[in-house]
Amino acid sequence: MKRPGRVSLYQQVANNLNKKGIKPFSAREWKATNVQSVAYGHIINEQAMAEINKVFRKHNLELKCKSS
């Protein structure tokens, strides 16, 4: 089975955060690019980082960024 790409995982995280009602720092809803900014440590958001780690662990991937 093929593993999903990182962009699709970032989008999955964005969808999860939107469903939970967690608002991003400067937009109405989460998008993959917002999630990627959190993952790479450009933006600090504890709730988003927790969701990123959860989704990546689910797919047995390691997040290789500063904020992990």
Q: Which residue has the tokens 């959190």?
A: 38
Q: Are 4 and 58 in contact (CB under 8 A)?
A: no
pLDDT of residue 23: 93
pLDDT of residue 65: 61
Grouped pLDDT means (10 residues each) for the chain, 68 residues: 76 97 92 94 94 92 62
Q: What is the dihedral angle through the alpha carbons of 59, 23, 15, 40, rounded to the nearest 10 degrees? A: -40
d(C-alpha 50, C-alpha 14), whole Å:
12
Q: Are 61 and 39 in contact (CB under 8 A)?
A: no
pLDDT digits (tens, 9 = 90+) for 9-20: 999 999 999 999
pLDDT of residue 68: 45
User: How many beta carbons lie within 10 A of that of residue 50, not counting itself?
Assistant: 10
Q: What is the pTM of this model?
A: 0.84
